[in-house]
Structure 1
Amino acid sequence: MADGSGLVYKYDKARASLKPELSASIHQAAVEKGGDVPEQIPRFRIAISEVGISDKTFWISLPQGRLPFQGSVFIDLSANSRGIHMSRIEKAIALLYPRRFEDIRFFALDLAGMLLATQSAQRASVRIRGRIPLLRKTPVSRQTSVDSADISTEVQIVRQENGTTPVESLIGVSLSHITACPCTQVYNQVLTEIEEACLSASQSEIEGENRTIPMPTHSQRSITGLSVSDLDGTISFDVLFQCLDAALHLTQDLLKRPDEAEMVLKAHRAPQFAEDAVRETARAAGIILGDRLPGDAGVVIESLSLESIHCHNVSCRLETTMETITGALQSQEDLNGKF
C-alpha cells in the first residue's frame, strides 16, 4: 500500500501484470459505449433489502496497531436499479486504509457514510468483528498475560433530506471466563454434612477444620459478550470490559500456580450458572452505564458455557434496554430495604 506497510507495495512497479494489454483510450471508449450497467432497469422491478460484500478482511489502524477484522458491507437497492457499484465499496475501503481510528465503530461509520455518498442507496450498514490484544496483570504473581478480546460493531445509517443520520450504532466485547456449577456444589455440601453427622464428634471436628475451602464442583470455560447501542459514540470498549470484569471470573493465558489457585477459589466461592453470568453482567452494566446511556438504549448479553461433563453446551441470551436493567436494580434495592 501507499504507506509502505503493504506486503507487495515495493514490487508494484516490477509486476508484469500491471502493464496493460490495451491503451487507456480504448478502455475509456468501451466504458462510455457500454454504459452504466448497474443503473439499468431490471427485468423484474422489486426492491432488494441488502446487497453488498461479505467475508471481507478490513485492515484498520487503531491505537493497538493495524489489525485485521472480518466483516460485511451492505446497502439497499431500489426497484429501478439492476445492481450496485461493487468497485465503489472496495474503493471506499481502500481510501480508509491509511487513516487512524480510535476504535472500529468510527471506521464503520465513516465507511457507511462513504457508501451513501457514492451509491444511490437509502440505507447502508457495516458489520465488523475481530480481536484486539488484551494485556493484564495476574492477581498474585503480577505477570503480564497477553490475551485477546473479541470486539464487534454494527452501524447503520439512512439518507435523509438534510444528509445522513445513524440509526444504529452497536459495539460489543466478548471475553472468556470460567464458571463453577452451584448445583453440584450444593449437593456435595449436603453429602458432606450427612457423612459428618454419621461420624464421631471428635472425628468430625478434625475433618471440619478445612471447611473454609468451597466444595468441589465441575467447572467450564465460558464466553460472555456484552453489546450496547451507542448512537452518540460516548461508550468505549474499555468500559464494556469493566462491566464484564466486574461480573465474571475472567480467564487469562499466563497464570502461575498461586494465580491459578486464586482464580479457581474465587470461581468456586461464587459459582455461576450461564444464567447467573448473564444477569450479573446486566447488573454491572446497569451500575456502570446506567447514567451514561439513555433508557431506550439496547443491551444484548450472550453467554456460551462449554460444558465439561456434558456433551452439550449451554447458551443464554438477554435482549433488553438500559431502562429495564436500571429499573430492576432499583426494584432490588427497594426490596432489600424492606427486610
Structure 2
Amino acid sequence: MPTTPVPSALDVQAQRPTVAVALSRVGVAGVEKVIRVGRPGEELPYLATFETVVDLGPHQKGAHMSRFEEVVNEVIAEEIVGEGGGRAVRAEHLARRVAEAIRERQGARRAEVRLTARYPEDRTAPVSGIRTQEIFTLHGIAAATEHGSRTVTGVTAQGMTACPCAQEHLRDSSTGRLRDAGFDDEQIATILEAVPVATHNQRGLGTLLIGRTEDSEVDVDALDLVRVVEGSMSAEIYELMKRSDEGTVVEKAHRNPRFVEDCVREMLRSTLERFGGLADGAFVLAKQENLETIHQHDVVAERYGTLGELRAELARGEEPAQHTSLRQWLDAAR
C-alpha cells in the first residue's frame, strides 16, 4: 500500500557545497507586489517588482529561497496594509525594511533589495494643453550589513535627443549650398538661425539615483528627479500630442542637440544645483541610454560617485582618484 512521505528534517541549504566558493548575489528576482506610494493624502497603489539577494558564504550550499518571499510579504503587511486599510511608504524605506529582515532571517553577512515600480504622472502637452498620462519608473534600493543600512532612491524617465554630429555636418553642407545659390555669409547665418538644421534623433532613457547619508535632512522627491532627467535631454516627450505639440517638441530638440555623454553631464550638473544641500558623502549615479535610429546599436553613458568627488572634480578640473560605485557606497554605512 502507498506510504505517506515523511518531511525531511535535513537542512540541505546548510550543507557544505562541493566547491567552497562564496557567491556575491543569491536570491529571488521578479517578485511582484502591490504597494502604496505617494505624499500623505495622495497615495496610489502601484505594481512593484522586488529583487532580493544575499551574499552567500563559501561553506553554505544555498540560501533559503522561500524566506525571501516570506519576508517581503511580512514587511508589506506591516508597512503598507497595517491597521486602517493601508498607508503609503517611500520605496527606498520599504526596500530597507525588507533588506534588514532578510539579512536577519537568512543569517547573511549582507542583504540587498531592489524595488522598481511604474510611476504615473498627469501632465499637459506643451501647446494644445491636451491632458496625457506619462509613466515613469521608480527605484528603491537598500543594503543591510552588520554595520547598518543605506538606501538609494531614483527614477528612470524617457526623452528625446538630437545628434549634434550629424547636425553639424548638415549645417556645413547647407552653408555650401546656400553660398552656391548666391547668399552671403550674413544671410546664411540668419537663415540657419531661423530654420533648425535637421539631424537624426534618438529616444532616450535616463536614470538618476541618489543616496543620502544617514544624517541628511534634504528631501529627494521622485518628481524632482524626473524633472532633472527630462531636462538633461534635448526635449521632453509626450504620450499624446497634437500636430502643434509635435512641431514644438521636434524644434526644441533640434535647437538643443546633445550626445549621450552630454545628457549624463547635464544630469550631474542639475543634481548638484537642485540638491545642493546634500553632503559630500551623498551618492549619485546618472545613466543615459539612447535608442539609435540610423544604427543597429544603442549608445550608453554613465557616471557614479559621491557628490564630494564630483564637486572636487569640478572645482579643480581634475578627475578624482576613484569613482565610488553603488555597492561601495551602500556598504559604507556605519
Same fold (TM over 0.5): yes
What is the CA-CA distance between 1:36 and the residue it aligns to? 5.5
- What do you get for the CA RMSD once the two structures are aligned? 3.0
TM-score (norm 1): 0.76
What is the CA-CA distance between 1:196 and the residue it aligns to? 2.4
Q: Secondary structure at the match of 1:97?
A: helix
Residues 269 and 331 from structure 1, CA distance in 2 versus in 1: closer, same or farther, beyond 3 angstroms?
A: farther
Which of the two has higher C-alpha Rg?
A: 1
Work out the CA distance in 2 between the residues paired with 1:279 and 1:148.
24
What are the Cα deviations for residues 32-64 of structure 1, in whole angstroms up to 9, with x where unaligned? xx4361575426566544332122223222235
2:117 equivalent to 1:126 = no
2:223 aligned residue (238, 247, 261): 238
Q: Secondary structure at the match of 1:126?
A: strand
1:42 aligned residue (16, 19, 25): 16
What are the Cα deviations for residues 251-293 of structure 1, in whole angstroms up to 9, with x where unaligned? 111112222121111111111111111111111111112322x
Q: Secondary structure at the match of 1:250?
A: coil
Structure scoring higher RCO (CA < 8 A, sep ≥ 6) equals: 2
2:229 equivalent to 1:254 = no
2:290 equivalent to 1:315 = no
Q: Secondary structure at the match of 2:277?
A: coil
Work out the CA distance in 1 between the residues paired with 2:107 and 2:257.
54
Corresponding pairs, count? 297
Work out the CA distance in 1 between the residues paired with 2:16 and 2:189.
82
2:300 equivalent to 1:326 = no
> For residue 253 of structure 2, what is the aligned residue in structure 1?
267
Residues 104 and 201 from structure 1, CA distance in 2 versus in 1: closer, same or farther, beyond 3 angstroms?
A: closer
> For residue 84 of structure 1, what is the aligned residue in structure 2?
63
Work out the CA distance in 2 between the residues paired with 1:123 and 1:35.
26
2:288 aligned residue (303, 324, 328): 303
Whether the 8 Å contact between 1:105 and 1:154 is mirrored in structure 2 is yes
2:27 aligned residue (38, 52, 74): 52
* Identical amino acids, percent of aligned pairs: 25
Q: What is the identity, as a one-letter code, of the residue corresponding to 1:228?
A: I
Work out the CA distance in 1 between the residues paired with 2:124 and 2:312.
35
> For residue 13 of structure 1, what is the aligned residue in structure 2?
none
Unaligned segments of structure 2, at least 5 residues: 81-86, 318-334
Work out the CA distance in 2 between the residues paired with 1:207 and 1:53.
59
2:203 equivalent to 1:228 = no
Whether the 8 Å contact between 1:38 and 1:85 is mirrored in structure 2 is no
What is the CA-CA distance between 1:144 and the residue it aligns to? 1.9
Whether the 8 Å contact between 2:159 and 2:230 is mirrored in structure 1 is no
Residues 206 and 40 from structure 1, CA distance in 2 versus in 1: closer, same or farther, beyond 3 angstroms?
A: closer
What are the Cα deviations for residues 150-177 of structure 1, in whole angstroms up to 9, with x where unaligned? 22222110135xxxx11x4222211111
Q: Secondary structure at the match of 2:309?
A: helix
Work out the CA distance in 2 between the residues paired with 1:209 and 1:246.
27
Q: What is the identity, as a one-letter code, of the residue corresponding to 1:37?
A: D
Unaligned segments of structure 1, at least 5 residues: 1-25, 333-339
Whether the 8 Å contact between 2:158 and 2:230 is mirrored in structure 1 is no
> For residue 325 of structure 2, what is the aligned residue in structure 1?
none
> For residue 62 of structure 1, what is the aligned residue in structure 2?
37
> For residue 262 of structure 2, what is the aligned residue in structure 1?
276
